[in-house]
Structure 1
């Protein structure tokens, strides 16, 4: 029997099984041990194949594709530390719900723990982070094809969210012309090859339970907290809250239009917290809240009931409120719990929100990090999307800007790391083919600079806006030791990104005023290519402006 040919037959069953679970995008890194998987994926017309030389970036590219498409995405890497580099993206997917399927090629068992090259212990290497882990045997005709396909179907059927790790050992030889080895083995699956359904379908029910006392609670004084949601969900939640007359506190990722904008500023005012203390029930849709004052208020509020509606499993409430955790689709939950038209009750909040907006407008008149965050909606492409980085930039946008209702906003706010932000945004753009504005800090851009190579292949205008405040200036908001802050926390690198853009043949601009920035961005939306725009700002401008505006609004 030809080992190389049967390796391919085995891989064909694996990849074909993935198509039955909605996989269309496959992300592939170079490697020899993964050859059976790579060549099989490349030869399957059902797949769109993406490549990247950096496995960490590849994992985040897959994460972005999963965010943008809403479908599971497969990743193929070779053995050794190549597989370990997928860990950050896997962790993020587990916290934010995207479906990743990690196919890690491996050495066969006889080459493990004996000094063989590029051989590490891969089974279970991701610990508790995958939803399911499967360690396949080395390909052999002694194991029926129906066992292989049903094992994969069972694992993927359990993937409500997060990652599945499928470890795939292959023995050499890995190369060679296909022959008849394994044809009869594959034919055991009969007409499954022509169908579109899984071999084994395991049904896991997630019935939405109607809260029988909702008719009672909807007549009470309530507050809606909106975390990370889809654009459609954000619009529906905003309309639902308005009908009830309940104030809505919307996160930057809520896509609700933030009817009470700048919440992270006005929640620092005691008038706001006093008014909100009258609430009898708080219902939170979506998790991953950003603003510090929002989180502080959320942690200390004591309504009679606190409900949290989100499709992800787990408590998702770090404050551990007394109430109900409703794990279900948000749109479906709203259908079962209709709003009733009632007058608004928290009348003091709207004037405070207007005061905060006016204060922001006056306090961000000078060009810089704070002004760009506050006026970011003016830069958004029509019918496009926004990707917001982590650290200081997402907090400034959350505190200062009012994003349009239903406008798609993406971010990595699960583990909230700065790794893989460029590659994730590239994946989102590839999945949606929409004009995309991504805004990140300078350290985030440096961390994922290899993934600038992914921006050479875009299907719609893509603007990467790098806010260069020379380091991790979020630490300027924290009580870090002054003498050690620059060396051990902010770590200024004193770089600009002109040469990085040139290295990957990307268009680059470094505007010095708001009008220049607006003009450059406006032109960038005219062409289906990537543009890097770096704004160089005073190091502590954004952090100081946030603190100053918070003090003004809090004391009003």
Structure 2
């Protein structure tokens, strides 16, 4: 009986284990060594299969799917450098908690370190960024129950971040679909019809109330809202308001930013004096964008700093003394009810209102800053927003005020500019809603071939590429002026029109707010993807941002 048939049976069990752990999306790159896994996945009706010709983009496609679906997403890649191309997405997942399950096909042991084609040492290739499970070469001498139990235990233990399952297969890899080795599967006969894993592992208990919470909630507190889910942000905002505690909110928090433009006014002496009276800081989520908020986090000296985040480990770069509580935000708030108190920091509301008026006047003739300031006007009803990194996300964090609970997605774990188009494609596939995405020109160039993923969409998607001709974030940093253009900003002087044409996307080029608004609204009337190139003066966005920060510090 053929090796190819047994490879298929072995792969069937691997794929079945995924579906029993709520995997519904699987992302597949082309390859020969991975054929048993690919064919098993294609034959599984419980899976939605996604493909991409670029493994780096494939990894970020899976990351976006995991963000939006809030469930584990699997990937299949062939051996060799195909596996290595997944590293950036694996790193991001490790830092932000999305569950990726990487199935890498491999050469059998006798073909490693002997000069065989497309053979590298794959076990441990992701280092500490992923849990790992190195399967043996498929053989009927290993019982099918061992394979099912091993996969169940490994997948259950990888409750956040990436899991790497390395799967060696010997040739032949192809053959007719026959009944060979079906008796090897007999011990699992009833399992495919069941909805539970072969072995069910118990989940941790819920969050208990902090024993001294009733005392602490009577004190002067500050709430910081970092990256969290939309429904969590919608719960944090009224909780903080009931307590009378100021809420310093990141754009990723989806709280509605009740104290808007905080990144601009936090350096104000009045703000510092008020905030330094805080006795307790309660921070929900991490991965903060605002430089001013991170600076205050470093120098603040409250009696206690509580950081609540579902991911384990250190999440506070300022190393504040206090409590690190691993919990979902919603369950923690439910266990810690607010008591109605009078707001104790009215000066912050005055500063926020003043800064809002000044910013509105300052950005009128500044297209890049105006986009950030008026971003809420571009959001499609019932939709979602994806933000890129570098200068753009800082402008939005400082200037935008979004509706409470409006879904916002970013890659703010490693804050890289790689894979952003693929990520937003995965998000829209996982949550097929109208999607607005904002990226810089260098970010878009970095992932240009993932525009191919935007050709077949089930809901409108508008990608706005802010083309300021280079990485203008470096204009805010003390980079040497003489070497800035050549070594840091790297202006490319390109148009994205040919790229849109190559991948069959609708395209518009605009330079001011009103045409931009019209182009975005028109894009949401289309079923597929639209690329809007927003051509802006190179350094004006960075210069306006620096001027606004100085205005806030002078309040």
TM-score range (shorter-chain normalised) is over 0.9
Residue 362 of structure 1 deviates from its aligned partner by 0.7
- Match in the other structure for 1:5: 5
CA distance in 1, matches of 2:203, 2:18: 18
Q: Offset of 1:190 from its aligned partner?
A: 2.8
The aligned counterpart of 1:215 is 214
Equivalent residue number for residue 41 of structure 1? 41
1:56: which partner in 2?
Answer: 56
Give the root-mean-square deviation of aligned CA atoms. 0.8
After TM superposition, the structure 1 stretch with the greater mean CA deviation from structure 2, 368-377 or 25-34, is 368-377
Q: Provide the C-alpha distance between the structure 1 equivalents of 2:465 and 2:18, rounded to a whole number of angstroms.
A: 37
Q: Tell me the TM-score normalized by structure 1.
A: 0.99
1:342 aligns with 2:347: no
Query: Which residue of the partner structure matches residue 517 of structure 1?
Result: 516
**What residue in structure 2 maps to residue 25 of structure 1?**
25
Aligned to 1:506: 505
Q: Tell me if structure 1 keeps the 8 A contact 2:366–2:541.
A: no
Partner of 1:533: 532
Partner-residue secondary structure (3-state), 1:74 = strand
C-alpha separation in 1, matches of 2:358 and 2:20: 54
Alignment partners' CA distance in 1, 2:428 and 2:79? 29
Question: Aligned ranges for residues 75-474 of structure 1 at < 5 Å?
Answer: 75-130=75-130, 132-474=131-473
Partner Cα separation in structure 2 for residue 354 and residue 540 of structure 1? 27
What is the alpha-carbon distance in structure 2 between the residues aligned to residue 450 and residue 184 of structure 1?
A: 45
Deviation at 1:180, TM superposition (A): 2.4
| Distance in 2 between residues matched to 1:528 and 1:217, nearest whole Å | 51
Q: 2: CA distance between counterparts of 1:268 and 1:212?
A: 35
Distance 1:322 1:521 in 2: 46
Mapped partners of 2:498, 2:205: distance in 1: 51
Q: Which runs of 5+ in 1 are unaligned?
A: none
Which whole-Å CA distance do the structure 2 matches of 1:275 and 1:398 have between them?
A: 22
Q: Deviations over 1:382-433 (max 9, x none)?
A: 0000000001100000001111110000000000000000000000000100
Tell me the secondary structure at the aligned position of residue 92 of structure 2: helix
Q: Any conservation in 1 of the 2:366–2:540 contact (CA below 8 Å)?
A: no
User: Post-superposition shift, 1:204?
Assistant: 4.3
What is the CA–CA distance in structure 1 between the aligned matches of 2:227 and 2:38, rounded to whole Å?
A: 35
What displacement does 1:496 show? 1.2
Tell me whether 202-211 or 277-286 shows the greater mean CA deviation: 202-211
**What is the rounded CA distance, in whole Å, between the counterparts of 1:384 and 1:346 in structure 2?**
34
TM-score (structure 2 length as normaliser): 0.99
Q: What SS class does the counterpart of residue 49 from structure 1 fall into?
A: strand
Distance 1:193 1:473 in 2: 54
Q: Distance in 1 between matches of 2:452 and 2:520?
A: 21
> How many angstroms does 1:206 deviate by?
4.4
Aligned length: 555
CA distance in 2, matches of 1:194, 1:244: 50
Deviation at 1:178, TM superposition (A): 1.9
Gaps of 5+ in 2: none
Shift of 1:193: 2.1
Q: Provide, for residues 319-355 of structure 1, a one-character-per-residue CA deviation record: whole Å limited to 9, x for no partner.
A: 0001000001110001110000000000100110011
Tell me how far apart the structure 2 counterparts of residues 49 and 206 of structure 1 sit (CA, whole Å).
34
1:336 and 1:513 map into 2 onto residues whose CA distance is: 48
Matches of 1:496 and 1:206 in 2, distance apart?
Answer: 54
Partners of 1:305 and 1:234 in 2: CA distance: 22
The question of whether the paired residues in 1 share the 8 Å contact of 2:234 and 2:405 is answered with yes
Distance 2:520 2:139 in 1: 56
Contact 1:23 1:71 in 2 (8 A): yes
